[in-house]
A and B are shown apart, each in its own frame.
Chain A
């Protein structure tokens, strides 16, 4: 064998090893950056804008991160396409809303229930997981497209139920005045503010966005740890096996129905968790908050971020949240002021035929959104931070060549 060929083969082998190493490091780097950003962001924005509006925005992005992490278990790990994920979000939100607000006083029960938030976080989780299991049990025998359609139907039915059981849920009038979380008295710290050394403001959920922000960061961190643990476990491997080849997985002794049910239930429980938190934060829950578009947005976050990869999914959720809830709504105003500043202010004048440049942009928002999605998928089909598997799938041809070189090395 010639020396250059040997060198080339070993180089390609090494480069593959270091690539793998880099990806592992990349995850750590992403988490590091996220943690630093999570700490710096509220400090910087409160200092810069002298208000907490941006912190509330970040908190809202936080629910989507939680939702995306949960949906990633179902879609990314187990390969089950769930188009009705918002239903579980709704179930979690309503569980908290009904059991921690004056709502039930005006229902046939005639008694308002006020259970503590911390308990309800877990109750909502279990209720949503139970709903996932109830939906999953008869349907998980279906495969692929059929399952997607059933979940789609479920996602449509659940908000309708909350509309129509208006005796209990207030229907279109929504559930309001939902209790805010209260820290139990025995948890003391620098925030228990009446002492002589008050480090930060009183840590109080009563209308303080920073408290909610801190809580969602803790919840997300916990979710990341738990889901990462699952991913590298017996169950995580069983999910991957089912995604890869269901027949072979069953032949290895994996009970495919219960394993898929677990994916559904665990995914749903994150959604329920996020739902309870959401209800407490916005203090108003209406069926309109859980329509199909929410399910789709979360699904796009998962796919865009990099299916199966937790850090990628978090980035995807943050990026898409920014695009949908910040960039697009501010676009009409931005376009108007741009037109003014380059001397095309006349375009902003509204006439009967022309709604003004801002109005026109407003109308085009969803086209622009669609175009952004199409562009992102064309440019990075593997997602922003793909899982190693997705990356491998898409780069497979290249790797096979390297493999052949290595094989040749062994053969000669």
Chain B
């Protein structure tokens, strides 16, 4: 899929983003920007506010203050489905597939936003609806092939092995044709072999012109694929930069290993 010439260099810009839950500040005044076509990683200890930040970007939460600008447009406070329509897709930390739908149907749900059929078309099975269904089925199979689980197309998502479920979730997200893909701990629970395969998959996704923004705990994965990293601790951004710099940052080491007196 070819990309139009980029109107703006930064696909995503967060400005002073803050999310409070009562007295708890989960995300504290975080600003960051993600360049088009890069792999950007968000890391930090458990409870640092990484997933909360994702949820603020995808509209699951409304930020308390601050702005989210996606592809030159302010999407602060948009609803999740509007955000998805604009071109941000995501996966979830705890896999959230449609368990009792087939893999094919899971991906076809992903195609939902790129389909046009209205209620009347479907009720009466008009020829154009039929053609669209056929096309979407083809496309969905293509996405399943892309992540390498095409042979499971007619199985219930629930019945897939764990690693395949993670792949299916990525296929479903890609099916919405996002410009930005948010991966929430995609390598969690993976074997070393699966992690290598995941890194290959992420590189393949990049070739489609999709920018990848991921949360990941596994340092090998993070260091292996990401071009820039932001480190969160207690909701605050404590470091930003290329992997090599971040690894040496004193505050990052403190956050992960605790302060040495």
Which residues of A are in contact with B by a Cβ distance under 8 Å? 20, 226, 229-230, 232-238, 240-241, 244-245, 247-256, 262, 266, 389, 392-393, 396, 399-400, 403, 407
Contact = CB atoms under 8 A, between A and B. Distances in A.
B98 A241 contact: yes
Residue among A255, A396, A399 with the most chain B CB within 10 A?
A255
A240 B85 contact: no
A230 B98 contact: no
Nearest to A390: B100
Residue among B100, B110, B123, B133 with the most chain A CB within 10 A?
B100
Interface string B126-160: 00010011000000000000000000001110110
Contacts of B123: 226, 229-230
Contacts of B161: 407
8 contacts: A234-B122, A244-B97, A245-B97, A247-B92, A253-B84, A254-B112, A392-B158, A396-B158
A247 B96 contact: yes
B98 to A, nearest CB: 4
Given A247-B96, A252-B89, 11 more contacts: A229-B123, A233-B122, A234-B115, A235-B117, A237-B108, A240-B109, A244-B101, A245-B98, A253-B81, A253-B113, A254-B109
B249 interface: no
A248 to B, nearest CB: 4
Nearest to B182: A251
Contacts of B159: 399-400, 403
Interface residues of B, number: 42
Contacts of B36: none
Interface in B58-97: 58, 60, 79-81, 84-85, 89-90, 92, 96-97
B118 to A, nearest CB: 9
Given A236-B122, A240-B105, A392-B100, A252 B133 contact: no
A393 B81 CA distance: 28
A226 B99 CA distance: 26
A36 B166 CA distance: 47
Contacts of B20: none
Given A249-B109, A251-B58, A251-B90, A229 B81 contact: no
Contacts of B176: 252-253
Nearest to A228: B125
Contact of A248 (B96, B125, B132): B96
B58 A229 contact: no
Top 3 nearest A-B pairs by Cβ distance? A253-B113, A233-B122, A253-B84
Contacts of A250: 60, 79-81, 84
A250 B157 CA distance: 18
A252 B109 contact: yes
Interface residues of A, dominant DSSP: helix
A262 B118 CA distance: 11
Nearest to A404: B161
Given A237-B109, A247-B60, A247-B96, A254 B101 contact: no
B125 to A, nearest CB: 5
Contacts of B92: 247-248, 251
B237 interface: no
B179 interface: no
B1 interface: no
A235 B121 CA distance: 10
B119 interface: yes
A252 B124 contact: no
Given A226-B123, A237-B101, A240-B105, A253 B156 contact: no
Nearest to B129: A233
Given A229-B122, A244-B99, A245-B98, A252 B112 contact: yes
A247 B55 CA distance: 11
B172 interface: yes
Residue among A238, A241, A256 with the most chain B CB within 10 A?
A241
A244 B97 CA distance: 8
B96 A240 contact: no
Contact of A251 (B84, B115, B117): B84
Nearest to A245: B96
A287 B101 CA distance: 41
Nearest to A235: B122
A238 B109 contact: yes
A70 to B, nearest CB: 13
A240 B119 contact: no
A234 B135 CA distance: 12
Contacts of B90: 251
Interface in B159-174: 159, 161, 172-173
Contact of B112 (A20, A238, A403): A238
B80 A251 contact: yes
Given A244-B98, A245-B97, A247-B60, A256 B81 contact: yes
Contacts of A232: 133
B100 A389 contact: yes
Contacts of A233: 117, 121-122, 129, 133
Contacts of B124: 226, 229
Residue among A237, A240, A251, A403 with the most chain B CB within 10 A?
A251
B81 A254 contact: yes
Contacts of A234: 112, 115, 117, 122, 132-133
Nearest to B92: A248
Contacts of B105: 237, 240
B79 A244 contact: no
B74 to A, nearest CB: 19
Contacts of B172: 252
Given A234-B122, A235-B119, A396-B158, A252 B110 contact: yes
Contacts of B97: 244-245, 248
B185 to A, nearest CB: 16
Contacts of B80: 247, 250-251
A272 to B, nearest CB: 16
Given A235-B119, A403-B159, A393 B100 contact: yes
